[in-house]
Amino acid sequence: MKPEVSAFGWVPPFAQGLVRDLRVRWALREAGRDYDELLIGPQGQSSEDYRRLQPFGQVPAYRDEDVTLFESGAIVLHISEPCAPLLPTEPTARSRAKTWMFAALNTVEPPILFLNQLQMMKVDDANEIRRAVVGAANRRLGDLAAWLGDRPYLEGEFTAGDLLMTTVLRILRSTDLLAAFPTLTNYQQRCEARDAFQRALGDQLHTFQEHEPAVSG
């Protein structure tokens, strides 16, 4: 059977290209694997059947002939295990790639996500919090840029660590934070220029276009 990836049938434009099933779609495209979509909406998220796939009602959930998984990082790791371009076969390089996968999700993403949430809040007392979060995000970005230096990718060759890191950096697209780090801007552009990313993004956006709600009135 083809792998099956759950995804929303539609999200508002500000979220399109950011929903985390993109990570899984990209990994599958890098691995040269086709897949099926399991499209859900708000009601589907809370259904008993879907909660058996994803206990928190989020996307993506994933299943293939071997496993049923949730959490995008765990799914990307599963897809990457037999895929040498995503996880090198040499043991040290393989471990380093996995380290960057965790770094993307546990070190770089949290302040970026918090900043993203603050931008959507309409509260008067968020400015001081925002300054602190921007400072934390900038420190992480500065450390990441310093590590990259002249490297094209985090460990020289593209791996699953770069895949996840790029999807984290995409969350900043509504801010100007990356403008201060040309190294990271170039890195993101380099990763997103990959054919597998373009195909994965096209898959997701095509689904949203097909299921865009009709505008009444």
pTM of this prediction?
Answer: 0.93
Are 53 and 102 within one domain? no
Same domain membership, residue 73 and residue 33: yes
Residues of the chain above pLDDT 70, percent: 96
Same structural domain, 46 and 107: no
The pLDDT of 183-201, averaged and rounded, is: 98
For residue 75, pLDDT over 80 is answered with yes
Least confident of 15-19, 129-133, 144-148: 129-133
Same domain, 134 and 115: yes
- Which DSSP state fits 207? H
Pair 183, 201 in one domain: no
Are 27 and 61 in contact by the 8 Å Cβ rule? The answer is no
Does any domain span residue 203?
Answer: yes
Asked if 44 contacts 77 with a C-beta cutoff of 8 angstroms, the reply is: no
Q: How confident is the model at residue 122 (pLDDT cuts 50, 70, 90)?
A: low
Asked if 103 and 184 sit in the same domain, the reply is: yes
Q: pLDDT grade, residue 101 (50/70/90)?
A: very high
pLDDT digits (tens, 9 = 90+) for 167-182: 999 999 999 999 999 9
Residue among 64, 101, 82, 80 at smallest CA distance from 27: 80
Specify whether the CB–CB gap between 170 and 17 falls below 8 A: yes
Q: What is the pLDDT of residue 180?
A: 97
- Across the range 38-61, mean pLDDT stands at 95
According to the model, what pLDDT value does residue 126 have?
Answer: 64
Q: How many residues does the chain have?
A: 217
10 Å CB burial of residue 8 (0-12, 13-18, 19+) is buried
Cβ proximity of 73 and 58 under 8 Å = no
Instruction: Compute and round to an integer the Cα radius of gyration of the chain.
Output: 18
Q: What is the mean pLDDT of residues 67-84?
A: 97
pLDDT above 70: residue 59 = yes
- CATH number of the domain encompassing residue 72: 3.40.30.10
Residues 23, 45 within the same domain = yes
Q: What pLDDT does residue 104 have?
A: 98
Kindly state whether residues 116 and 62 are assigned to the same domain.
no
Residue 124: the pLDDT is 58
Give the model confidence (pLDDT) of 16-47 as tens digits. Answer: 999 999 999 999 999 999 999 999 998 899 99
CA 151 from chain centre, in angstroms, equals 21
What sign for the dihedral angle of Cα 165, 98, 52, 6? Answer: positive
Residue 67 sits in the same domain as residue 125: no
Q: What is the DSSP letter of 174?
A: G
Residues 107 and 159 in one domain: yes
**Paired tokens of 147:** 């590590």
Give the domain range for residue 98: 91-194
